[in-house]
Amino acid sequence: MNKLHWKIGTILGLLILSIWLLYPTAEWYTKTPDERAKLEAVRMRPKRILNLGLDLRGGTHLLLELDVTKLDKKENINDAMSRAIEILRNRIDQYGVGETPISRQGERWISVDLPGISNTEEAENLIGKTALLEFRLVDTSNEAQSVLSKVDGLDEPPFDKDGKLVPEIAKLMPKGTILCKAAPGAEGERARYYVLEDTVPVTGAYLEGARVETDRQFGTPTIGFTFNREGGRLFENFTGANVGKYLAIVLDGVVHSAPVIKTRIGGGSGVIEGQFTMEEARNLAIILRAGALPAPVNIIEKRVVGPGLGEDSIKKGLGASAAGFLLVVLFMLVYYKAGGFIADLALGLNFVFLIAAMSYFNATLTLPGIAGVILSLAMAIDANVLILERMREELDLGKPVAMTIPTGYDKAWSAILDSNVTTWIASVFLFQFGSGPVKGFAVTLTIGLVIGMFTSVFVTRAVYEFWLTSNPKELSI
């Protein structure tokens, strides 16, 4: 009896825990889309809820290609890809898009889903920037001024389609310098350029933090940054040795500001000024905090899924799941009577435990994931069918009820274990070698198989053992 009490206590405890884990998800999705959007904007989204994937929520799908030709020669492609994926994930997480599926595709491609973001320009700005921050000295020599005068006289940009300087400008460039474009100014203003030294004494690799600030005089957005200890020391020594010179702050090859170094800058911090909007400054701060990509990424495929399509997928998916679930429940009740009722009870608990587990792991539910849920439930009910059929065989042999139930479980166990283990092996390979949606299916199926075995064997057997305490003479199956 003590053992039975322990089993029932475990089941009730798991049920209470599951309801507690499901509460944030239920509360979140009962809010209107506008209410959820406002909470996400201020980072008030619950941490442990069941997320909806791109095909259910709508958003943007991007396929990126890492430009391996621009990698540092010392860097391995596999290491660069891993670092790029991690940096992209950090950027997106800081932006507020939770549990974004990011996966490697082939040698140099990265698949990214951004649920809830249908503004492709916003997505591209967040994902595509290399975010390479450099501090370079401005060359103010007479030769540099001659170059800038020549550039001002050109009708076309000084760079060709491959990004190289046109010959007439290249031959005038002072040795050890490069030409960089300034950030766009007011509308209609002619593009400006700077001649910079090609040595980079300090880069964004030493950044410890970046944040949006407001200029005290004009109230315009700026980006404050902080170096780590080593970067702060380098920056202080560099500015101290170049007082009176102009320091260009260069981001992704574009000069955002070039203030004069009035004194040694200690404290390991500074400010990037420019004509930023608040949204641009926020995104740029996110990108700087997450770090620079090892090489530029090119967007080679872009697909937008509207929220209406996602809602339609949810309705059809839930409708199909509910219809299938009800048909199975009715069949088990009609065909197996009381035994079918116990199997249906276990199936309901299976579904609750599965969704609660996915909420705890902050999993993302997609259409393939729904298919994984349905398959795991089917495997669970199949296990109950095996058990009930073995019980029927024992009853046909004339065995008493008290012996029929444990014998039925013992005889069905090997078949249940074999079918679940073989399916689990298949799901492991799907997760290892599949793409994003296939991995979602595999994860859901794997969790569902474990929970299904627990409810089909442990839960139903505990119910039967509790029923046996009343000394029944017949078994309705």
- Position 97 pLDDT exceeds 60: no
Whether the predicted pLDDT of 422 surpasses 90 = yes
59-129+300-305 is classed in which CATH architecture? 2-Layer Sandwich (3.30)
pLDDT at 17 (0 to 100): 95
pLDDT, residue 251, reads 78
Count of alpha carbons within 13 angstroms of residue 383, beta-carbon side: 33
pLDDT at residue 372, rounded to an integer: 87
What digits encode the pLDDT tens for the residues 297-343?
888 888 877 666 666 767 777 788 788 889 999 999 999 999 999 99
Percent pLDDT > 90 in the chain is 28
Phi, psi of 51 (to 5 degrees): -85, 150
Question: Does pTM surpass 0.75?
Answer: no
The ranges of the chain annotated as CATH 3.30.1360.200 are: 133-283
Cite the residue boundaries of each domain of the chain with CATH code 3.30.70.3400. Answer: 59-129+300-305
pLDDT digits (tens, 9 = 90+) for 272-283: 776 677 877 777
Which top CATH class is 2-31+308-468?
Answer: mainly alpha
- Of 428, 350, 427, 423, which is closest to residue 384 (Cα–Cα)? 350
**Range(s) for CATH 1.20.1640.10 in the chain?**
2-31+308-468
Paired tokens of 380: 């669970």
Residue 171, phi then psi, degrees to nearest 5: -70, -20
Distance of CA 338 to the CA centre of its chain: 45
Q: Has domain 133-283 been given CATH number 3.30.1360.200?
A: yes
pLDDT tens digit string along 33-46?
778 777 766 667 78
Distance CA 428, CA 198 (A): 50
Weakest-pLDDT range from 143-157, 206-220, 379-393: 206-220
Is the pLDDT at 268 greater than 60, yes or no?
A: yes
> Does the pLDDT of residue 109 top 60, yes or no?
yes
d(CA 120, CA 98) in angstroms, rounded, equals 18
Query: CA 137, 140, 142, 145 torsion: positive or negative?
Result: positive
* pLDDT over threshold 70, residue 291: no
Contacts of 50 (CB under 8 A, 6+ apart): 25, 355, 358, 359, 363, 365
